[in-house]
Amino acid sequence: MNSYNIKLISEGIAILILWIIEISLINVLKASKVLDSISGRIVKLCMFYVAGLIIVEKNANCCKMAEKLGLVSHDKLTRILGQGEGLVSKLGLIFINFCLSQTTGGFVILDDVLIPKRYSKTIEGVYNEYDHVDKERVKGMRLVMLIWSNGKVRIPIAWAIWHKEDKTLIGFTKKGQPKYKHTGLCLLKINGQALPYKTKNRIGLELLTKVIEKGLKPHYIAVDSWYGGKINLQHFQRLQIPCYSRLKSNRKVVFQGKLISLNSLAKLIPISSFNYKHDAYIKAEQVYLPGFGNIKLLFVRKDKHPEKGSTKYLFSTDLTVSAPKLLLRYRSRWLIETMFRDLKQNFNLESCQARGIKEQEAHIAFVLLAFIILEVEPVLQFSSESPDTVGKKKKFLQSLLLVKIQGIRAIIDLRKSNSEPVLLEDSFLSRVNSTLDSPFETLNY
């Protein structure tokens, strides 16, 4: 292979990724039936930002993305965050309609994630929060998210940034707990006006109600114990959506006419047989949950699932569900945890350094768009390799270089020193070659 400078090589990779993004994005937009409502110019601009998120390995700020892309300045990328508001405001609807176009009803998962901003001083929406991963308080932004899944793909369909309440410490209780005067307003101010405060639970319920009103009909919702409170359960019941969640060990239920905590009740419920198919001891009982009603309670012991805790108390508002199905449907909640991990590790969720909340919201939306493009992209196949996860797909695409051989486009794998060029029309990207005409000059081989 001829020798080229780094800028030209990075441009060859960037062109390839831009093509894949455009093809995938058009497919998603067509499925969502809102392609005509979005300006083609805005879509093109956003493609550059999304390509930068994919092509940069870590800390993808605008300067690093511009350097890697070699096709656009960092000032242009910064302006994209402000100019892409039209697309950002429609992305949630696009993703919902994409889910509606699928053949299965699927299910939804509600949870929140902390986006660390450790060195932030003046970024709007950043507060001092407890990080459950690092077990310490850090500066960060809390994102509440609702995703849809059919068990294979994970699609974020609604999300919102939670803002801390503006409250004043007025003293302490006899037990030393702080007492606050609540204002009902957020610390964040838009044009000098404070926004009404909403809890994470309230935001989650509003997100769910919005997607149901758009026509989505999930088979069930899976949440952790934080979103499994009685107010939320009553709301899920009104929406006629069965809920699968988890209770803490000190939660009290009524069993055989007696009010008893779950850890005490577990001692009275023997589980003698191990379920080898699901790697846990399981046993179900019907109990009464005060403030809500009857639920199907599942005792889980010696659970080998990645979620923390070998002893769990799971439950469902569907009283007819079997014990194994209750366990599996709750475990499906783990999909959102793996998605949060992918967003942080592979798509630079934490990297935006813009100070304004609108720019932060745009960055989050573009990160989710980059994730979906690789999530719904079919399994890539090239030189006997078949990466099937978003992380593997990203690393795989970063290693492919687009070149020209006597005017014919071809792909080279940069990981191999003796890699033979593969003609584009003979590869998994043949649709790119036949559909798009690149505005950039491709490297000559």
| pLDDT tens-digit readout, 240-270 | 999 999 999 999 999 999 999 999 999 998 8
Cα gap 276→288, rounded to integer Å: 29
Ramachandran region of residue 151, left (φ > 0), alpha (ψ -120 to 50) or beta? left
Q: Where are the domains of the chain?
A: 6-163+198-221+351-376, 225-332
For 164, residues 6+ apart whose C-beta sits below 8 A from its C-beta are 127, 186, 187
Q: If we measure between CA atoms, which residue out of 345, 315, 368, 347 comes closest to residue 148?
A: 368
pLDDT tens per residue, range 226-241: 999 999 999 999 999 9
pLDDT of residue 126: 93
Cα gap 198→165, rounded to integer Å: 8
pLDDT of residue 164: 93
Q: Is the pTM of this model over 0.75?
A: yes
The structure tokens listed for 419 are 């890699």
Cα gap 165→187, rounded to integer Å: 6
pLDDT of residue 413: 76
pLDDT band at 396 (very low <50, low <70, confident <90, very high): confident
**Buried/exposed 21-58: b ≥16 CB within 10 Å, e otherwise:** bbbbbeebbebbeeeeebeeebbebbbbbbbbbbbbee
Q: Is the pLDDT of residue 435 over 50?
A: no
DSSP bridge partners of 26: none
In the numeric block, the tokens 């469902």 are attached to 316
pLDDT of residue 105: 79
pLDDT of residue 389: 84
The DSSP output letter for 421 is: P
pLDDT tens per residue, range 165-176: 998 888 888 888
Q: What is the mean pLDDT of residues 400-409?
A: 73
Tell me if 353 sits within 8 A of 61, measured CB to CB: yes
What distances in angstroms separate CA 441 from CA 145, 396, 409, one per listed residue?
40, 22, 11
pLDDT tens per residue, range 304-356: 888 988 899 999 999 999 999 999 999 999 999 999 999 999 999 999 988 88
Q: Is the pLDDT of residue 436 over 50?
A: no
Tell me if 298 sits within 8 A of 323, measured CB to CB: yes
Cα gap 49→116, rounded to integer Å: 21
pLDDT band at 28 (very low <50, low <70, confident <90, very high): low
Mean pLDDT of the chain: 83
Pick from 32-41, 252-261, 434-443: least confident: 434-443
Cα gap 300→413, rounded to integer Å: 48
pLDDT tens per residue, range 180-231: 888 899 988 888 888 899 999 999 999 999 999 988 899 999 999 999 999 9
DSSP letters of 172-219?
E-TTS-EEEEEEEEEEEEETTEEEEP--HHHHHHHHHHHHHHTT---S
